[in-house]
Amino acid sequence: MSKPPTYPEQQGYSTPANYGVQTNPPPPPPPQVQMGYSAGPGTVVIQQPVKIHTRHPTQVTCQHCHQSVTTQPRSEVGMITWLACGAMVLFGLWLGCCLIPFCIPDLKDTFHECPNCRNVVDVYKPL
């Protein structure tokens, strides 16, 4: 019995001797944009934007100072308040009744602030 013939190694073909062996290093990964902060060596914490759907104080993690806080809501006159006032004027309620929307807190925009850093965490707008 004779030995099988030997074949010369050709570029691009793998033989059992070089399976899994890389001749060139892999290309670097594409750069990624991450919103987050480092919590230690090798650990990245990704902070998602906060969306608050209430006028009341809410427990959140502030995206500015990264602390777990209860927000301090502050109401301000917004677009819905002015639209309600304008609608009352159009329907003939201009003799002081058009000022009623400015006294209703559910029609105002609510700014949720962080008590630590005093930055606005989110704005709740009714509608």
pLDDT tens, residue by residue, 88-98: 888 877 778 88
Collapsing DSSP states into helix, strand and coil, what is residue 111? strand
Collapsing DSSP states into helix, strand and coil, what is residue 89? helix
pLDDT tens, residue by residue, 54-101: 888 888 888 888 888 899 999 999 999 999 999 988 887 777 888 889
Domain ranges for the chain:
64-127
Contact 50, 63 (CB under 8 A): yes
Structure tokens at 81: 């308040």
68 φ, ψ (degrees, to nearest 5): -85, 115
pLDDT tens, residue by residue, 7-34: 655 555 556 555 566 566 666 766 554 4
6 vs 118, residue with greater confidence? 118
